[in-house]
Chains A and B, each alone.
Chain A
Amino acid sequence: MSQSNRLAAGGLIDRASTIGFTFDGRRYAGHSGDTLASALLANGVKLVGRSFKYHRPRGVLTAGSEEPNALVELRSGARREPNAKATVAELYDGLEATSQNRWPSLAFDVMAVNQLAAPIFVAGFYYKTFMWPAKFWEKLYEPMIRRAAGLGRLSGEADPDSYEKITAHCDVLVIGSGPAGLAAALAAGRSGARVILAEEDFALGGRLNSDRRTIGDKASSAWAADAAAELESLPEVTVLRRTPVVGVYDDGVYAALERVSDHMREPAAHQPRQRLWRIVAKRTVLAAGALERPIPFGGNDTPGVMLASAVRTYLNRFGVAPGKRAVVYANNDDAAATIADLAAAGCEIAAVIDARGDAPALHAAARAAGASLIFGGAIARAYGGRSLKGCEIVDGRGRGFKVECDLIAVSAGWNPSIQLTTHLSARPVWDDRLAAFLPGARPVGMEVAGAAGGAYGLGEALAAGAKAGAEAAEACGFAAGAVDIPATDPEPGDTHGRGPWRSPVKRGKAFVDFQNDVTVSDVELAAREGFKSVEHLKRYTTLGMATDQGRTSNVLGLALMAEITGRSIPETGITAARAPFTPVAIGALGGAHRHKEFRPTRLPPSHFWAEEQGAAFTETGQWMRAAYFPRPGEKDWFETAVREVNTVRTAVGVYDASTLGKIDIQGADAGVFLDRVYINAFSSLAVGKARYGLMLREDGVAMDDGTTTRLGETHYYMTTTTANAGGVMRHLELCKQWLWPELDVHFSSVTDQWAQYAIAGPRSRDVVAALVDEGFDVSNEALPYMGAKELTVCGGVKARLFRLSFSGELAYELAVPARYGDAMIRAIIKAGEPFGICPYGAEALAIMRIEKGHAAGPELNGNTTAADLGMGKMLSKKKDFIGRTLSGREAFQDPERPSLVGFRPVDRSARLRSGAHFVPRGETPSAANDQGYMTSTAYSPSNGHWIGLGFLARGPERMGEIVRAYDPVRGGDIEVEVVSPVFVDPEGARLRA
């Protein structure tokens, strides 16, 4: 458990706390404050993973979320998380990490033979190699590719952890906590503005912790710690660590993912693993910094090749020497700091290669470190396989030689992290001086500060951050004082890295996109084959399309394509990013709303009673409805539903109809309004009467139906179907507010106010009479069919009683305030016992409505008109109403249009199925011979055979005709007879009894 590469002193780790972890089953030790990557490097572990396509050994390239190589599986069992970046994963005691995409072991991977077969894995290999024979694709090629190429494995088990979503509003959102971000947050925070500072790392400071810089009289990391402490002390500042901002949306809305418990073995009690923040910000300062670019050369993916800035991070922040003998390969001055820091840490520097030629800053650093300096040279090839052993260098005059080393630090300038400026489709702009893309148009309210805006120097980043933070606060109405920015130590020189973009020597695979195994040769091949635009390059080679989103490869790939095709970089293309900035787990997007809590569940007033009865439930939209009430000995739903239908038809049953939409409508113009939204008249309806109404859409197609009762001169009570309640309410409000603002009419949803029970069957009047209070008459004379009364029941509870029937029997709907709903159903059952009452559910109701030929959802299916439904005569000619004019259009008048009729099987024992199409007897089933379709079917206990409703061309004229019900999907092809859609009591005598 020795940490052989841990420096004796220094770094921001807590050396007092030593923690154990495992990698591929071996035990190691690290310190709190380490990442998995820094702890592995401290232990001398360089080989961390195998690459996606070629299974090449890979190590650690970076020290941040841009890492393309060091992907591992974290934890085990149900909490196993694939493709975690070792450079981001925070070390905790007992952390288990496993390398991925290797078999049988990381050191010996059989699939590494893929690189011998590299010619077939070149760019576009999906499209070329596996095209023929086509039938091999599914059975052979795809499984083979999936096994050979790949990333980590999912656990395959249910996620045991919880996730949370939360909304926060602020004046100023600061993204990133490097020098610019901290200065911005301080400037805005001190003004009293509400500030959120979001940092993806677990420590605030960014490169202030990675570099040995000086601000005033403090080390840069100490300055960052002081700034963090001050921000934490400000009451209106919220500091979010471990929280990358992952998406930018219109009007200052941002998504950020807080990794609440990812740095723990498992979340603390009741804590989510991750929390998704929706941040609504008036102003935003993007201070996301910049990422260093690598230089491609042969074998540049050998473990031990690392970005020069990452080398400094491991040295200075983590106290780890990533190598003992280093070669530095740079095309700018930034590597001077790496040389100095390596030397200070006691590392030997074998060679410094400046790709540009002589540059004073690197020259001086190399001389100070005692390293030999090679001007205008390049690395031809790195070698060592699983661990870097050395490299072949070519100097400016073309002479080659080998240098032994275990670390190559590469530096090719910086890419500002501008991704979040492009999420709303703004295009970045190329800056030749910086050789980098800078933010173009910014999202409204966003300012960019520091390295993300091209201000790479420490002093200028601090100043830019302070200015942006103060301006953002001022824009929100706060007086921001000047933030005193102390002087900083001298800047390193020209850090811009304007090329060369690659090693001029081609020897071995030189990787551009490490995660997707895209090489310089692949880019050249794409160019040769004509895929020269960046969009084509990306799709053909998959460059930039891995989970790292090409953070280290996109600009490089573009620059190479520009070079190959002799164009400028902006001519070649521009890379813009889409959300999310880093991968987001689906669990975090769902938050707490998963499984049964995916959406709300509405419980009707009889629900708890129905549970006690052992009812089976069915979901209708958000509602839980009782489907049927099984009794002991009944073998399935069918037997139960048939018994329930028979009870209603011969005695009495009760059904909870509370899920119907109920709308209270009042106002002087309520009647006129209803005349305009229904096809039939309601202003002429007498007080105390109900009427069935059909609503159309403006295009003449049926929208919804239900009964509306006139409770008073200016007071109506509308019911809608369960499914359409919300839509009808929206429609009514639109008609009122937008079409006819002159009308005095008001709506209030009372769906939940009333528990409404249908009491149906020949004995229903007896039951109702037993419930209503003395003095209320429910006789046929006092309350005829389609009558309504306000009265009291069970000793003074106010109620509404309607003489309505969906079942076709003598029936009532009794509505009481919902708080009495539970007691009311129990009272109805009790009062009904002498008459043989049973509760019935949605299944029995569905059977009875088909027996009565009532249209429901399958008939009101968005294609049918009033005439199709057999309600053409209801269309009022005296008034305009929604849908009237277009009801009259030619296609809707076509006599061949299928309209509603009933069907019964010629062979009475045959089963009918909805979805079957009607074809004339003796004709071939074809689109030309298609005359309509079956919409609803049921076994009718009252008829003793299956019955159906459907739409048939000229249906009502064809009573008694036999047609084919053709159902190829389920192998059905039977003869059915066209009959009236009313299968029970066609005269309606029962419901008027």
Chain B
Amino acid sequence: MPEPLVARSPLRAHVAPPASPAGEPGVVLREIPDLTLASVAALKGREAELTQAVSSAYGVDLPDGPKRVSSGAVSFVGVGPGKWLAASTVGTDFSGLPAAVADQSDGRAVFRLSGPKARETLATLVQIDLHPRAFQRGDAAVTHAASIAVTLWQVGDEPTYEIVMFRTYAATLWRWLVEAGRSRGIDARLGG
């Protein structure tokens, strides 16, 4: 009988180097491991059924724009017309929803970027307007970080962002964030 398989992060120090600031960190980068993610698409003619199902199962009103709505451990992020990214911190199984559901828990990696310099650090890679007048907690965007497709949203006013990317790009985006963050006092550590 083979040994049980161990789950591993797409990041290793030699491709995703840690960084620590000289003084107080201006921006903090961490990987958020173990999020359950699923892409959810409304089936033709069954949109209302999906809205109802999500509402009754999770207490979430599906957003119809680029927004993130959460309730407890579960959240839904609008990523396109009739398309959402469902996320859970408690291993929720979304496959029973009346929708086209595809597990993305391994397909994506998620970073959290926070701190007073987080917005400016992100602005070196992401071109959308993240100023608080334009983008706040609950707002989400599907865009790119210097050509790497990302979905991001704001979770705190510090500000704190969560950034989702395809898993195989995680090491590159980590390096780019660390590089952009060096002059801004980045604290980046692997493994939480």
In the complex, A touching B (Cβ < 8 A): yes
Is A105 engaged at the interface, CB distance under 8 Å to the other chain? Answer: no
Q: A504 to chain B: closest CB distance in Å?
A: 56
> A602 contacts B169, CB within 8 Å?
yes
> A165 contacts B124, CB within 8 Å?
yes
Is B183 engaged at the interface, CB distance under 8 Å to the other chain? Answer: yes
Would you give the 0/1 interface string for B125-164, flagging 1 where the beta carbon is closer than 8 Å to chain A?
0111101011000000000001110000000000000000
> A168 contacts B45, CB within 8 Å?
no
In the complex, the chain B residue whose C-beta lies closest to that of A260 is B183
In this complex, the member of A601, A603, A796, A816 whose beta carbon has the largest number of chain B beta carbons within 10 angstroms is A603
- Complex-state Cα separation, A669 to B100, whole angstroms: 12
Residues from chain B with Cβ under 8 Å of A269 in the complex: 183
> A592 contacts B43, CB within 8 Å?
no
- Complex-state Cα separation, A303 to B148, whole angstroms: 53
In the complex, the chain A residue whose C-beta lies closest to that of B179 is A592
Is A272 engaged at the interface, CB distance under 8 Å to the other chain? Answer: yes
Q: Which of B33-85 contact A (CB under 8 A)?
A: 39, 41, 43-45
Partner of B173 from A167, A600, A746 at Cβ < 8 Å? A600
- Complex-state Cα separation, A822 to B103, whole angstroms: 19
In the complex, the chain B residue whose C-beta lies closest to that of A601 is B172
Residues from chain A with Cβ under 8 Å of B173 in the complex: 600
> B127 contacts A604, CB within 8 Å?
no
> B127 contacts A278, CB within 8 Å?
yes
Residues from chain A with Cβ under 8 Å of B102 in the complex: 664, 666, 748, 750, 753
- Complex-state Cα separation, A749 to B127, whole angstroms: 24
Q: A84 to chain B: closest CB distance in Å?
A: 24
Partner of A752 from B2, B167, B171 at Cβ < 8 Å? B167
Partner of A194 from B9, B10, B100, B133 at Cβ < 8 Å? B133
Is A819 engaged at the interface, CB distance under 8 Å to the other chain? Answer: yes
Is A132 engaged at the interface, CB distance under 8 Å to the other chain? Answer: no
Would you give the 0/1 interface string for A793-829, flagging 1 where the beta carbon is closer than 8 Å to chain B?
1111100000000000000000011111111100100
- Complex-state Cα separation, A270 to B180, whole angstroms: 9
Q: A720 to chain B: closest CB distance in Å?
A: 15
- Complex-state Cα separation, A744 to B98, whole angstroms: 13
> B5 contacts A750, CB within 8 Å?
no
Would you give the 0/1 interface string for B5-20, flagging 1 where the beta carbon is closer than 8 Å to chain A?
1111110100100000
Residues from chain B with Cβ under 8 Å of A165 in the complex: 124
Residues from chain B with Cβ under 8 Å of A336 in the complex: none
Interface size class of B (residues with CB under 8 A): 35 or more
Is A166 engaged at the interface, CB distance under 8 Å to the other chain? Answer: yes
Is B91 engaged at the interface, CB distance under 8 Å to the other chain? Answer: no
Residues from chain B with Cβ under 8 Å of A122 in the complex: none
Q: Which of A158-214 contact B (CB under 8 A)?
A: 162, 164-169, 194
> A744 contacts B45, CB within 8 Å?
yes
Given contacts A794-B4, A818-B107, contact A603 B175 (CB under 8 A): no
Residues from chain A with Cβ under 8 Å of B104 in the complex: 748, 750, 753
> A746 contacts B100, CB within 8 Å?
yes
Q: Which of A729-773 contact B (CB under 8 A)?
A: 743-744, 746, 748-754, 770-771
- Complex-state Cα separation, A231 to B86, whole angstroms: 44
- Complex-state Cα separation, A749 to B167, whole angstroms: 12
Is A280 engaged at the interface, CB distance under 8 Å to the other chain? Answer: yes
Would you give the 0/1 interface string for A57-94, flagging 1 where the beta carbon is closer than 8 Å to chain B?
00000000000000000000000000000000000000
> A593 contacts B146, CB within 8 Å?
yes
Given contacts A164-B124, A754-B106, contact A169 B131 (CB under 8 A): yes
> A600 contacts B147, CB within 8 Å?
yes
In this complex, the member of B2, B5, B127, B133 whose beta carbon has the largest number of chain A beta carbons within 10 angstroms is B5
Residues from chain B with Cβ under 8 Å of A600 in the complex: 147-148, 169, 172-173
Is A26 engaged at the interface, CB distance under 8 Å to the other chain? Answer: no
Would you give the 0/1 interface string for A617-639, flagging 1 where the beta carbon is closer than 8 Å to chain B?
00000010000000000000000
Given contacts A820-B5, A823-B8, contact A668 B43 (CB under 8 A): yes
> B41 contacts A797, CB within 8 Å?
no
- Complex-state Cα separation, A215 to B106, whole angstroms: 65
> B2 contacts A592, CB within 8 Å?
no
Would you give the 0/1 interface string for A135-168, flagging 1 where the beta carbon is closer than 8 Å to chain B?
0000000000000000000000000001011111
- Complex-state Cα separation, A599 to B100, whole angstroms: 32
Is A577 engaged at the interface, CB distance under 8 Å to the other chain? Answer: no
In this complex, the member of A167, A599, A824 whose beta carbon has the largest number of chain B beta carbons within 10 angstroms is A167
Residues from chain B with Cβ under 8 Å of A593 in the complex: 146
> B124 contacts A592, CB within 8 Å?
yes
- Complex-state Cα separation, A818 to B171, whole angstroms: 14
> B2 contacts A771, CB within 8 Å?
yes
Is A546 engaged at the interface, CB distance under 8 Å to the other chain? Answer: no
Q: A574 to chain B: closest CB distance in Å?
A: 34
> A827 contacts B2, CB within 8 Å?
yes
> A167 contacts B15, CB within 8 Å?
no
Is B3 engaged at the interface, CB distance under 8 Å to the other chain? Answer: yes
Given contacts A165-B124, A604-B168, A753-B107, contact A667 B100 (CB under 8 A): yes
Q: Which of A30-72 contact B (CB under 8 A)?
A: none
Is B114 engaged at the interface, CB distance under 8 Å to the other chain? Answer: no
Q: B191 to chain A: closest CB distance in Å?
A: 14
- Complex-state Cα separation, A965 to B60, whole angstroms: 67
In the complex, the chain A residue whose C-beta lies closest to that of B33 is A819
- Complex-state Cα separation, A599 to B1, whole angstroms: 42
> A827 contacts B168, CB within 8 Å?
no
- Complex-state Cα separation, A819 to B106, whole angstroms: 6
Residues from chain A with Cβ under 8 Å of B120 in the complex: 166
In the complex, the chain B residue whose C-beta lies closest to that of A280 is B129
> A816 contacts B43, CB within 8 Å?
no
- Beyond known contacts A270-B183, A795-B1: 6 more, CB 8 A cutoff: A270-B182, A748-B100, A749-B166, A751-B166, A793-B2, A794-B3
Nearest 7 interchain pairs by C-beta: A753-B107, A744-B44, A666-B100, A746-B100, A748-B102, A746-B41, A169-B129
Can you give 30 contacting A-B residue pairs, CB < 8 Å?
A: A167-B127, A168-B123, A169-B129, A169-B131, A271-B183, A280-B129, A592-B124, A592-B146, A602-B172, A603-B15, A603-B168, A666-B100, A666-B102, A746-B41, A746-B43, A746-B100, A748-B100, A750-B104, A751-B166, A752-B106, A753-B106, A796-B4, A819-B9, A820-B7, A822-B8, A823-B7, A823-B8, A827-B2, A827-B3, A830-B2
